[in-house]
Amino acid sequence: MQPAPEIIIAGCGRSGTTLLYEILARHPGCAWFSSWGERFGIGVAAPFNRLFRSGRTIAGHAPIPSEAYRTWQRSLRLDPVDRLRRVGPEALDGAAGRRLARAIANCRRFGGGSVFLNKNTGNTRRLDLLAAIFPSALLVHVVRSPLDTVASLLTVPWWPTLELWTHAGATPEQLAADPVASARLAAELWLAESEVGFEAAAANPDRSIRVDYEQLVDDPRAAIEPILDATGLEWADLPTPQVRSSSIGRHRSILTAAQIEAVQAMIEAWPLSQLAAEPLEPAK
């Protein structure tokens, strides 16, 4: 099988997708959309991606790997209703693939790197669409314990106003009357986005790799090396990943007993619960 020319990272928010994205973005073989590219244009900003890879800055600043919402929106041109639901290739116009290909070509040309890498939270619900645009891409599905994911979601400042695609754009502050209800909403999001990832991986198992967040933290090389092998990249060219294990099991100090019980009940009733790594109680 030919090495995959693209890596699409998917998974529920707060599952470690950004951590993996930023680790892989330091590899000189990876091209990616940057925060500067969103502001100044990909062609202008992409050469500065080398600053992030090397750890250097200009006047204390450097670009970072970006979810690139503007670039994806300009390229895909989805209807507003399609941005908040699961969609496939039928939602695209005929030129979407070409627009995205041009943006990625500029990213590779000016920023260096042969393998295009991207993580975008919204793309997790658009994996069928991306499979049509990138038939040879490698899907990397990041899975984290739902209890830790829910706890992390509930503590970020943007959670109350997050437009939930699982509820047609309604927000937790509109839907949840108490902390247990909010935990259920976060668990619903984990369930929905995990299911999309598992289904996409099952549809193309030869082009899919699952990364368990707990393994990524405990043994980065074991989690990352299969990704590099599938794309023809070398571990030796990747700077040593810096990760912290303190995030594993944090739900014990964040969630109440009632919240934990509510999340556990939802996960245990999920038809795909047997596919989740350490689905209820992650290792300490």
Flag whether 231 is in a domain. yes
pLDDT above 70 for 284:
no
Flag whether 281 is in a domain. no
pLDDT above 90 for 65:
yes
Residue 247 — pLDDT band, cuts 50, 70, 90?
confident
Write out 226-247 in H/E/C secondary structure.
HHHHHHCCCHHHCCCCCCCCCC
Element (H, E) at 72: helix 69-76
Flag whether 283 is in a domain. no
Torsions phi, psi for 267 (to 5 deg)? -70, -40
Flag whether 76 is in a domain. yes
Rounded CA gap, 67 and 123, in Å?
Answer: 9
Q: What is the CATH number of the domain that holds 128?
A: 3.40.50.300
Q: Hunting for tokens 């739902």 — which residue is that?
A: 146
| Digit-coded pLDDT (tens) for 12-40 | 999 999 999 999 999 999 999 999 999 99
Q: Which domain holds residue 147?
A: 6-275
* Number of separate domains in the chain: 1
Sign for the CA dihedral angle at 222, 227, 229, 230 comes to positive
Q: How far is CA 152 from the centre of its chain?
A: 15
Flag whether 131 is in a domain. yes
Flag whether 284 is in a domain. no
Label residue 250 exposed, middle or buried (CB < 10 Å: 0-12, 13-18, 19+): middle
Please report, rounded to a whole number, the percentage of residues in the chain having pLDDT higher than 70. Answer: 96
Label residue 277 exposed, middle or buried (CB < 10 Å: 0-12, 13-18, 19+): middle
| Digit-coded pLDDT (tens) for 127-159 | 999 999 999 999 999 999 999 999 999 999 999
Q: Which of 189, 120, 124 is nearest to 154 (CA)?
A: 189
Length of the chain, in residues: 284
Mean pLDDT in residue range 269-280: 70
Flag whether 71 is in a domain. yes
Flag whether 280 is in a domain. no
Question: What is the biggest distance separating any 2 CA atoms in the chain, rounded to whole angstroms?
Answer: 53
Q: Which of 196, 169, 211, 3 is nearest to 84 (CA)?
A: 169
